[in-house]
Protein backbone atom coordinates (compact mmCIF):
# COMPACT_ATOMS: atom_id res chain seq x y z
CA UNK A 1 0.00 0.00 0.00
CA UNK A 2 1.41 3.37 -1.02
CA UNK A 3 1.50 5.97 1.73
CA UNK A 4 -0.07 9.31 0.88
CA UNK A 5 0.57 12.26 3.19
CA UNK A 6 -2.39 14.63 3.30
CA UNK A 7 -4.31 16.93 5.61
CA UNK A 8 -5.50 14.01 7.76
CA UNK A 9 -2.07 12.44 8.29
CA UNK A 10 -1.16 12.01 11.97
CA UNK A 11 2.44 12.35 13.12
CA UNK A 12 4.41 10.38 15.69
CA UNK A 13 8.10 10.55 16.33
CA UNK A 14 11.16 9.98 18.45
CA UNK A 15 13.01 12.47 20.64
CA UNK A 16 16.53 11.83 21.89
CA UNK A 17 20.14 12.60 21.13
CA UNK A 18 21.45 11.11 18.93
CA UNK A 19 18.59 9.76 16.80
CA UNK A 20 20.21 9.54 13.35
CA UNK A 21 20.70 5.75 13.43
CA UNK A 22 17.33 4.79 14.90
CA UNK A 23 15.35 1.89 13.40
CA UNK A 24 12.09 3.07 14.97
CA UNK A 25 10.82 4.80 11.78
CA UNK A 26 11.08 1.46 9.98
CA UNK A 27 8.96 -0.21 12.68
CA UNK A 28 6.19 2.37 12.82
CA UNK A 29 5.97 3.34 9.16
CA UNK A 30 5.86 -0.35 8.20
CA UNK A 31 3.05 -0.94 10.72
CA UNK A 32 1.14 2.07 9.37
CA UNK A 33 1.31 0.61 5.86
CA UNK A 34 0.35 -2.88 6.99
CA UNK A 35 -2.61 -1.63 9.00
CA UNK A 36 -3.71 1.08 6.57
CA UNK A 37 -3.26 3.95 9.04
CA UNK A 38 -2.70 7.49 7.80
CA UNK A 39 0.34 8.05 10.03
CA UNK A 40 3.99 8.95 9.63
CA UNK A 41 6.83 8.58 12.14
CA UNK A 42 9.97 10.70 12.12
CA UNK A 43 13.00 11.22 14.42
CA UNK A 44 13.53 14.56 16.17
CA UNK A 45 16.99 15.32 17.61
CA UNK A 46 16.55 17.35 20.80
CA UNK A 47 19.26 19.24 22.68
CA UNK A 48 19.71 18.48 26.37
CA UNK A 49 18.29 21.81 27.54
CA UNK A 50 15.22 21.67 25.28
CA UNK A 51 13.39 18.50 26.37
CA UNK A 52 10.52 20.33 28.07
CA UNK A 53 10.18 22.68 25.10
CA UNK A 54 10.11 19.69 22.72
CA UNK A 55 7.23 18.07 24.62
CA UNK A 56 5.35 21.37 24.80
CA UNK A 57 5.88 21.93 21.08
CA UNK A 58 4.73 18.41 20.22
CA UNK A 59 1.56 19.04 22.22
CA UNK A 60 1.00 22.35 20.44
CA UNK A 61 1.45 20.63 17.08
CA UNK A 62 -1.01 17.88 18.06
CA UNK A 63 1.50 15.05 17.57
CA UNK A 64 -0.29 11.78 18.26
CA UNK A 65 2.61 10.34 20.23
CA UNK A 66 6.32 10.27 20.84
CA UNK A 67 8.96 7.76 21.76
CA UNK A 68 11.74 8.91 24.06
CA UNK A 69 15.23 7.45 23.87
CA UNK A 70 18.52 8.09 25.65
CA UNK A 71 19.36 10.22 27.45
CA UNK A 72 15.90 11.64 28.24
CA UNK A 73 13.81 8.72 29.55
CA UNK A 74 13.83 10.03 33.12
CA UNK A 75 14.18 13.74 32.41
CA UNK A 76 11.01 13.83 30.30
CA UNK A 77 8.83 12.80 33.26
CA UNK A 78 8.67 16.35 34.59
CA UNK A 79 7.02 17.51 31.36
CA UNK A 80 4.12 15.05 31.43
CA UNK A 81 0.52 15.55 32.44
CA UNK A 82 0.28 11.97 33.73
CA UNK A 83 2.48 8.89 34.09
CA UNK A 84 1.49 5.23 34.00
CA UNK A 85 1.98 3.27 37.23
CA UNK A 86 4.49 0.88 35.69
CA UNK A 87 6.59 3.70 34.22
CA UNK A 88 6.49 5.42 37.60
CA UNK A 89 7.77 2.26 39.32
CA UNK A 90 10.59 1.91 36.78
CA UNK A 91 11.42 5.61 36.89
CA UNK A 92 11.71 5.89 33.13
CA UNK A 93 9.37 6.72 30.24
CA UNK A 94 9.88 5.78 26.59
CA UNK A 95 6.42 6.42 25.13
CA UNK A 96 4.19 9.51 25.27
CA UNK A 97 0.51 9.26 24.35
CA UNK A 98 -1.50 12.40 23.52
CA UNK A 99 -4.31 13.13 25.95
CA UNK A 100 -6.39 16.22 26.56
CA UNK A 101 -4.08 18.79 28.09
CA UNK A 102 -0.76 17.03 27.48
CA UNK A 103 0.90 13.64 27.28
CA UNK A 104 0.69 10.51 29.40
CA UNK A 105 3.97 8.63 29.81
CA UNK A 106 4.41 4.87 29.55
CA UNK A 107 7.33 2.46 29.59
CA UNK A 108 7.04 -0.20 26.89
CA UNK A 109 10.67 -1.37 27.21
CA UNK A 110 9.92 -3.83 29.99
CA UNK A 111 6.94 -5.48 28.34
CA UNK A 112 8.81 -5.38 25.04
CA UNK A 113 11.69 -7.32 26.57
CA UNK A 114 9.26 -9.78 28.13
CA UNK A 115 7.48 -10.43 24.81
CA UNK A 116 10.85 -10.86 23.12
CA UNK A 117 12.00 -13.40 25.71
CA UNK A 118 8.72 -15.31 25.59
CA UNK A 119 8.99 -15.49 21.79
CA UNK A 120 12.38 -17.18 22.19
CA UNK A 121 11.10 -19.61 24.82
CA UNK A 122 13.02 -17.94 27.65
CA UNK A 123 11.36 -18.06 31.06
CA UNK A 124 11.95 -15.75 34.02
CA UNK A 125 9.83 -17.34 36.74
CA UNK A 126 11.93 -19.35 39.18
CA UNK A 127 15.20 -18.49 37.42
CA UNK A 128 18.55 -17.48 38.88
CA UNK A 129 19.48 -14.40 36.84
CA UNK A 130 22.67 -12.43 36.29
CA UNK A 131 22.14 -8.81 35.24
CA UNK A 132 25.12 -6.88 33.92
CA UNK A 133 24.75 -3.16 34.55
CA UNK A 134 22.73 -0.86 36.79
CA UNK A 135 21.77 1.98 34.42
CA UNK A 136 18.29 2.92 33.25
CA UNK A 137 17.81 -0.11 31.00
CA UNK A 138 19.13 -2.50 33.65
CA UNK A 139 16.81 -1.00 36.26
CA UNK A 140 13.82 -1.80 34.05
CA UNK A 141 15.15 -5.34 33.55
CA UNK A 142 15.61 -5.81 37.30
CA UNK A 143 12.01 -4.72 37.89
CA UNK A 144 10.76 -7.02 35.13
CA UNK A 145 12.59 -10.03 36.57
CA UNK A 146 11.28 -9.28 40.05
CA UNK A 147 7.62 -8.94 39.07
CA UNK A 148 7.76 -11.97 36.75
CA UNK A 149 8.88 -14.24 39.57
CA UNK A 150 12.65 -14.64 39.29
CA UNK A 151 14.13 -16.50 42.24
CA UNK A 152 17.20 -14.25 42.53
CA UNK A 153 18.68 -11.49 40.38
CA UNK A 154 22.36 -10.72 40.92
CA UNK A 155 23.18 -7.23 39.61
CA UNK A 156 26.84 -7.00 38.65
CA UNK A 157 27.97 -3.40 38.25
CA UNK A 158 31.32 -1.65 38.24
CA UNK A 159 30.04 0.89 40.77
CA UNK A 160 28.55 -1.13 43.62
CA UNK A 161 26.58 1.80 45.03
CA UNK A 162 24.52 2.07 41.83
CA UNK A 163 23.66 -1.64 42.00
CA UNK A 164 22.71 -1.19 45.66
CA UNK A 165 20.41 1.71 44.81
CA UNK A 166 18.60 -0.32 42.12
CA UNK A 167 18.33 -3.33 44.44
CA UNK A 168 16.87 -1.26 47.28
CA UNK A 169 14.33 0.47 45.03
CA UNK A 170 13.14 -2.69 43.27
CA UNK A 171 13.06 -4.84 46.40
CA UNK A 172 11.03 -2.18 48.19
CA UNK A 173 8.61 -1.87 45.26
CA UNK A 174 7.96 -5.62 44.90
CA UNK A 175 8.05 -6.36 48.63
CA UNK A 176 10.66 -9.12 48.62
CA UNK A 177 14.45 -9.44 48.66
CA UNK A 178 14.97 -10.70 45.11
CA UNK A 179 17.66 -8.31 43.80
CA UNK A 180 21.21 -8.85 45.09
CA UNK A 181 23.79 -6.12 44.31
CA UNK A 182 27.39 -7.09 43.58
CA UNK A 183 30.52 -5.38 42.28
CA UNK A 184 31.41 -6.69 38.82
CA UNK A 185 34.82 -7.93 39.96
CA UNK A 186 33.13 -10.16 42.57
CA UNK A 187 31.55 -12.43 39.94
CA UNK A 188 33.70 -15.33 41.19
CA UNK A 189 31.68 -15.23 44.45
CA UNK A 190 28.41 -16.09 42.71
CA UNK A 191 26.72 -19.24 44.02
CA UNK A 192 27.28 -22.37 41.95
CA UNK A 193 24.67 -23.09 39.31
CA UNK A 194 23.54 -22.17 35.82
CA UNK A 195 22.11 -18.75 35.14
CA UNK A 196 20.04 -16.75 32.69
CA UNK A 197 22.28 -13.72 32.00
CA UNK A 198 21.02 -10.38 30.68
CA UNK A 199 23.57 -7.89 29.32
CA UNK A 200 22.11 -4.48 30.11
CA UNK A 201 25.02 -2.12 29.36
CA UNK A 202 26.23 -0.43 26.16
CA UNK A 203 29.50 -2.37 26.29
CA UNK A 204 30.02 -4.16 22.98
CA UNK A 205 27.86 -1.77 20.97
CA UNK A 206 29.18 -1.04 17.47
CA UNK A 207 31.79 0.13 16.68
CA UNK A 208 33.36 -1.27 19.90
CA UNK A 209 32.34 -4.81 19.05
CA UNK A 210 35.20 -6.61 20.81
CA UNK A 211 34.43 -5.15 24.23
CA UNK A 212 32.73 -7.15 26.97
CA UNK A 213 31.91 -6.41 30.62
CA UNK A 214 33.59 -9.59 31.88
CA UNK A 215 36.39 -11.08 29.77
CA UNK A 216 37.09 -14.17 31.91
CA UNK A 217 35.79 -17.12 29.91
CA UNK A 218 35.17 -19.12 33.07
CA UNK A 219 32.30 -16.72 33.83
CA UNK A 220 30.44 -17.89 30.72
CA UNK A 221 30.45 -21.50 31.94
CA UNK A 222 27.81 -20.34 34.43
CA UNK A 223 25.36 -19.19 31.74
CA UNK A 224 22.74 -21.43 30.13
CA UNK A 225 21.11 -18.55 28.23
CA UNK A 226 22.39 -15.08 27.43
CA UNK A 227 20.25 -12.13 26.29
CA UNK A 228 22.02 -8.97 25.15
CA UNK A 229 19.91 -5.81 24.92
CA UNK A 230 22.29 -4.65 22.14
CA UNK A 231 21.31 -5.55 18.56
CA UNK A 232 24.19 -3.95 16.65
CA UNK A 233 26.33 -5.97 16.02
CA UNK A 234 24.03 -8.92 15.37
CA UNK A 235 26.28 -11.15 17.50
CA UNK A 236 28.00 -9.30 20.32
CA UNK A 237 31.16 -10.52 22.02
CA UNK A 238 28.99 -11.38 25.05
CA UNK A 239 26.77 -13.57 22.88
CA UNK A 240 29.74 -15.26 21.21
CA UNK A 241 31.27 -16.15 24.57
CA UNK A 242 27.97 -17.55 25.84
CA UNK A 243 27.61 -19.74 22.74
CA UNK A 244 31.28 -20.79 22.86
CA UNK A 245 30.60 -22.29 26.28
CA UNK A 246 27.45 -24.12 25.26
CA UNK A 247 24.74 -21.59 26.05
CA UNK A 248 22.01 -20.12 23.89
CA UNK A 249 22.32 -16.42 23.06
CA UNK A 250 19.95 -13.76 21.73
CA UNK A 251 20.27 -10.09 20.84
CA UNK A 252 17.96 -7.16 21.58
CA UNK A 253 16.35 -6.68 18.17
CA UNK A 254 13.09 -8.36 19.19
CA UNK A 255 12.98 -6.17 22.28
CA UNK A 256 13.23 -3.13 19.99
CA UNK A 257 10.48 -4.61 17.82
CA UNK A 258 8.01 -5.33 20.61
CA UNK A 259 8.55 -2.13 22.59
CA UNK A 260 7.76 -0.29 19.35
CA UNK A 261 4.70 -2.41 18.66
CA UNK A 262 3.32 -1.75 22.15
CA UNK A 263 3.82 1.99 21.64
CA UNK A 264 2.03 1.79 18.28
CA UNK A 265 -0.85 -0.07 19.93
CA UNK A 266 -1.15 2.64 22.61
CA UNK A 267 -1.17 5.48 20.05
CA UNK A 268 -3.74 3.87 17.77
CA UNK A 269 -5.81 1.77 20.20
CA UNK A 270 -5.24 -1.40 18.17
CA UNK A 271 -3.72 -4.84 18.59
CA UNK A 272 -0.91 -5.78 16.21
CA UNK A 273 -1.04 -9.41 15.12
CA UNK A 274 1.98 -11.67 15.47
CA UNK A 275 1.86 -12.12 11.70
CA UNK A 276 2.34 -8.39 11.16
CA UNK A 277 4.99 -8.31 13.89
CA UNK A 278 7.00 -10.90 12.00
CA UNK A 279 6.77 -8.88 8.77
CA UNK A 280 8.33 -5.92 10.61
CA UNK A 281 10.94 -8.15 12.26
CA UNK A 282 12.01 -9.50 8.89
CA UNK A 283 12.58 -5.95 7.65
CA UNK A 284 14.62 -5.12 10.75
CA UNK A 285 16.78 -8.24 10.39
CA UNK A 286 17.61 -7.33 6.82
CA UNK A 287 19.59 -4.37 8.18
CA UNK A 288 22.07 -6.80 9.77
CA UNK A 289 21.97 -10.10 7.88
What residues act catalytically? 73
> What is the rounded distance in angstroms from the CA atom of residue 125 to the CA atom of residue 18?
36
**Cα atoms in the 13 Å half-sphere on the side-chain side of 135:** 15
On whether the CB atoms of residues 44 and 67 are closer than 8 A, the answer is: no
Three-state DSSP state, 83:
strand
Closest CA to 228 of 120, 91, 95: 120
DSSP string, 258-285: HHHHHHHHHHHT----HHHHHHHHHHHH
Closest CA to 269 of 83, 5, 10: 10
Which residues partner with 157 through β-bridges? 183
Amino acid sequence: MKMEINGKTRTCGLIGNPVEHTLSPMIHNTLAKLLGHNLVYVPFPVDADKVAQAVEGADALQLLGLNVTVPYKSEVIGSLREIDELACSIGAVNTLVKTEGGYKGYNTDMEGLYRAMVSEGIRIGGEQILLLGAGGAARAVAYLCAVKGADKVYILNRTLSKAQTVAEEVNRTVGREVIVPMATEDYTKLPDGKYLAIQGTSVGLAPNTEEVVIADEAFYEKIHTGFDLIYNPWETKFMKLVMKHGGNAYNGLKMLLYQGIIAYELWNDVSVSEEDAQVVYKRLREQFI
